[in-house]
Chains A and B, each alone.
Chain A
Amino acid sequence: MLANLTSSERQNALVIAVAVAIAGAAMAIAGRADVMGVHGVIVMLFGGVVAWLVMGSLYAPEPAEDRSASYYDDPIKVGIALAMVWAVFGMFMGVWVAAQLAWPSLAFDAAWSSFGRLRPMHTSGVIFGFGGNALIATSFHVVQRTSRARLAGQVSPWFVLLGFNLFCVLAVSGYLLGVTQSKEYAEAEWYADLWLVIVWVTYFILYIATIARRKEPHIYVANWYFMAFILVVAILHIVNNLALPVSWGHAKSYTIWPGVQDAMVQWWYGHNAVAFFLTAGFLGMLYYYLPVRAQRPIFSYRLSILSFWGITFFYMWAGSHHLHYTALPHWVQTLGMTFSVMLLVPSWASAGNALLTLNGAWHRVRDDATLRFMMAAAVFYGLSTFEGSFMAIRPVNSLSHYTDWTVGHVHAGALGWVALITFGSFYTLVPSLWKRERMYSAALVEWHFWLAIAGTLIYVFAMWNSGIIQGLMWRTYTEEGALAYSFVDSLVAMYPYYIARAFGGLLFLIGALVGCYNIWMTVRAAPVAAARGSDVPAHPAAVPGE
């Protein structure tokens, strides 16, 4: 892979890797009295290993002359592999914490394995590790193909991909060590956050620069969504993580946002992380791989416009629905609720656009589990986005808030929508990227599909049941006007559902393992001369555009 870099690019890569290693050494020294020192060592090792790899082929021959005539697929391949590794890690952590809720002794009475530390390892592992790598990999693929242009940088895609994974490692290892700023989905501490800003801004510049080189007159819908994802996540991340570290040598920091404003900023971030990380980015995936696999044109360009602008505009307002009936002023809650309802139709427009695109290809949905993954993803997207708007309505929220219903809702989206669209996209992308005729085993794709569907349905139904039972138990009063149940009573009632949930998650994890094996065997197979559905070639940069 390094052979595709020129020697000056390799030198640049070496300089960056050494700089990261030096920064790690500085962190290790400054934070030697704190867990930050451990992170310094991790950063130093990370930079050191990359530098060592680059040095190994620093003086290798120069690459073929006209790289600009071909697409840059190496970072995409690595990104897919990393996404699958993180998927298995994150989902395993999910099954573990789910099992802890049913059998608390699975925490083994140790600090590192307590629920509070393992749960963010699960959430960050699946959202950022799995989802983030999948988004980076597919966005690199989609932007090149739909722009007929090679990525605008040679080292920067690696910087984005590896830098992002360094962030994920710092985040997840930090939780294990007890490092957290206690903001949901933004638990990583200040130095990891600063690093992510550098990585993410590079990602944005790289993406925009590639779009700017496009040889197509129009920017395809998928790229609108990917750009919205990258830009908005940068804004959300920076604003929510504004914090003052207690010293340069300590992991601990304090947010600059006081009281209820901190809560509001956090959920403005948290909900838009769902909107722009877990929705917009994955809609970019949907808009490319679904029509490619279905071999059908997108149902309606006009619906695409309606849903894109509806989603980007309305989602921004909806975060306060996470804080109904709290110290947040009533009027802010009203805005969050009403904008969540106005968001419904634009969201549904995307799901509908995807499903109507399948008109004329339903026989393929029946026969091809890969396309069925994407169809099911669109259905779950539609279901969970309806559920989200419904739960944002205050009186509904008074029942659902703080219950497992919320957890079920999130997983209808995360398993049913985000993971299914990713697997469908990967099964479309992997054979074409590695120049194979098809996936190693269609039967294993079929197995993965049914394991994932069964796991998701068991999970979501268990959480709907337990959530609504919890919510009702907490609000049931006796004739005398006293609460009928104690909190422990509701926990006892949850027990069977917690077992069912852990089982559903286990099925989903097994499906992901099947997927890993299938992808691995596909990559190991011999390439075919002409891959099926080959791409329109990249436009050489030297030739002026038409």
Chain B
Amino acid sequence: MAEVERDPFTGRETTGHEWNGIKELDTPIPRGVLMFLIVTHIWAIAWWFFVPAWPLGTTYTKGLLGVDQHTTVEARVVEGQRQRAAWTSRLETEPYEAILADQTLMRTVRDTGRQLFGDNCAACHGRDGKGRANYPDLTDDDWIWGGTPEMIEQTMRVGVNSPHPDSRVGQMPAFGRDEMLDRDQVRNVAAYVYSLSHPDYASAQTSARIDAGREVFATTCAACHGENARGSAELGAPNLTDAYWIYGGDLDTIIATVHGGRQGHMPTWDERLSKAEIRTLALYVYDFRNGAR
């Protein structure tokens, strides 16, 4: 048992305890520590008086300021809506031509649309709207379901192959897998489709295949894609004669598409975004082409 000693460095006494050589000084708590302790406690107690703090059975102390996070956030939401109303009301009601003609309003559409697009659309279509493998490019002139602001709005509202009752339905059947076409027919029609966008593909070796494919196309594919294979925006059937492809325009991918079919999916944004937000995005997407040009 150690005796109380005086530490030569600080001049303080020890407590007289010792554990494996460790001793303690009996230094009083510094005044500054006590002051700061009191200040933090006064601050805490003051908060208890001003805001909701202590439970009282089934209720709680409401606080002198009468604030509550629910009412605070509701007020903020209303305030935000009021601030935005100047342009959101116009976006909800005015026809697209009028909005497109108003450069000030279109600047708001571009600012707001960029953030909305980034948070809602960019995951599939890319931040620049250029899409990627299996997701359509929105910056080009090729539209499956139509590229006017009205058509884009409709596609956003109901989605494609979505649970929305009015959903756009675009089903490319699995002609090969479901045995509507045999192996040769699939290869032939793919060769024909490939030759539409690649005129130099036709040669002495391929012409028989392409001709056979043309016949298959006329009986099987033309119903949706049209006699001339230029597609139909009403049916959501893509144009097969141009350079734009969602799933890829090389011969192997076309064979895979004819064999296994395609059922792309675009969610419905009807419940998720407000009308003003959907129309902002429709214009923002429509406006991509101005940026591209």
- Residue A269 at the B interface, CB < 8 A? no
Contact A301 B25 (CB under 8 A): yes
Specify the chain B residue showing the minimal Cβ separation from A295: B21
A482 contacts across to B, CB distance below 8 A: 84, 108, 111-112, 115-116
Show 13 residue pairs from A and B whose CB-CB distance is below 8 angstroms, ordered by the A residue.
A220-B22, A299-B25, A300-B24, A330-B69, A331-B60, A335-B53, A338-B45, A359-B10, A360-B7, A481-B80, A481-B83, A486-B114, A486-B127
Identify which of B32-40, B131-139, B229-237, B261-269 touches chain A.
B32-40
- Residue A298 at the B interface, CB < 8 A? yes
Partner of B61, one of A302, A303, A331, A348: A331
- Residue B204 at the A interface, CB < 8 A? no
- Residue A334 at the B interface, CB < 8 A? yes
Contact B40 A303 (CB under 8 A): no
- Residue B44 at the A interface, CB < 8 A? yes
Contact A337 B25 (CB under 8 A): no
A483 contacts across to B, CB distance below 8 A: 115, 119
- Alpha-carbon gap, A301 to B45, bound state (A): 28
B95 contacts across to A, CB distance below 8 A: none
A352 contacts across to B, CB distance below 8 A: 33
Name 13 extra pairs, CB < 8 A, besides A146-B22, A301-B15, A330-B69. A216-B17, A217-B17, A300-B27, A306-B29, A331-B55, A334-B48, A335-B53, A335-B54, A338-B44, A339-B44, A478-B112, A480-B108, A486-B119
Within 8 A of B (CB), among A200-251: 216-218, 220-221
A486 contacts across to B, CB distance below 8 A: 114-119, 122, 127
B112 contacts across to A, CB distance below 8 A: 478, 480, 482
Partner of B40, one of A304, A334, A341, A484: A341
Which residues of A are at the interface with B, using a C-beta cutoff of 8 A? 145-146, 148, 216-218, 220-221, 288, 291-292, 296-304, 306, 325, 329-331, 333-335, 337-339, 341-342, 344-346, 348-349, 352, 359-360, 478, 480-489, 533, 535-536, 546
Partner of A145, one of B14, B19, B84: B19
Contact A297 B33 (CB under 8 A): no
B116 contacts across to A, CB distance below 8 A: 482, 486
Contact A330 B118 (CB under 8 A): no
- Residue B165 at the A interface, CB < 8 A? no
B67 contacts across to A, CB distance below 8 A: 330
- Residue B20 at the A interface, CB < 8 A? yes
Partner of A325, one of B23, B36, B69: B69
Q: A334-B48, A334-B51, A484-B115 are in contact. Are A341 and B21 (CB under 8 A)?
A: no
Specify the chain A residue showing the minimal Cβ separation from B62: A331
Within 8 A of A (CB), among B81-115: 83-84, 86-87, 108, 111-112, 114-115
Q: Count chain B residues whose beta carbon lies closer than 8 angstroms to a beta carbon of A.
A: 55
- Alpha-carbon gap, A485 to B111, bound state (A): 9
Contact B33 A333 (CB under 8 A): no
- Alpha-carbon gap, A126 to B249, bound state (A): 50
B118 contacts across to A, CB distance below 8 A: 485-489
6 interchain residue pairs of minimum CB distance? A486-B118, A481-B83, A338-B44, A360-B9, A300-B27, A331-B52
A325 contacts across to B, CB distance below 8 A: 69
Q: A482-B84, A486-B115, A488-B119 are in contact. Are A220 and B19 (CB under 8 A)?
A: yes
Contact A345 B40 (CB under 8 A): yes
- A334, A478, A483, A546: most-surrounded residue (chain B CB, <10 A): A334
- Alpha-carbon gap, A349 to B83, bound state (A): 48
A342 contacts across to B, CB distance below 8 A: 40-41, 44
- Alpha-carbon gap, A302 to B87, bound state (A): 65
Partner of A292, one of B15, B17, B22: B22
Q: A300-B28, A325-B69, A536-B21 are in contact. Are A330 and B43 (CB under 8 A)?
A: no
Contact B40 A292 (CB under 8 A): no
B36 contacts across to A, CB distance below 8 A: 345, 348
- Alpha-carbon gap, A250 to B217, bound state (A): 54
- Residue B68 at the A interface, CB < 8 A? yes
A148 contacts across to B, CB distance below 8 A: 20
B239 to nearest A CB, angstroms? 31
B45 contacts across to A, CB distance below 8 A: 338
Contact A480 B111 (CB under 8 A): yes
Contact A302 B26 (CB under 8 A): yes
Q: A345-B40, A486-B115, A536-B20 are in contact. Are A302 and B14 (CB under 8 A)?
A: no
A484 contacts across to B, CB distance below 8 A: 111, 115
Q: A342-B40, A486-B122 are in contact. Are A299 and B27 (CB under 8 A)?
A: yes
Specify the chain A residue showing the minimal Cβ separation from B53: A334
A360 contacts across to B, CB distance below 8 A: 7, 9-10
Q: A301-B26, A325-B69, A342-B41 are in contact. Are A535 and B20 (CB under 8 A)?
A: yes
B40 contacts across to A, CB distance below 8 A: 341-342, 344-345
Within 8 A of A (CB), among B104-158: 108, 111-112, 114-119, 122, 127
Partner of A487, one of B25, B70, B119: B119
Specify the chain A residue showing the minimal Cβ separation from B107: A480
- Alpha-carbon gap, A502 to B37, bound state (A): 38
Specify the chain B residue showing the minimal Cβ separation from A328: B69
B114 contacts across to A, CB distance below 8 A: 486
- Residue B292 at the A interface, CB < 8 A? no
- Alpha-carbon gap, A430 to B65, bound state (A): 58
- A346, A483, A536: most-surrounded residue (chain B CB, <10 A): A483
- Alpha-carbon gap, A288 to B20, bound state (A): 10
Specify the chain A residue showing the minimal Cβ separation from B277: A482
- Alpha-carbon gap, A304 to B113, bound state (A): 58
- Alpha-carbon gap, A359 to B11, bound state (A): 12
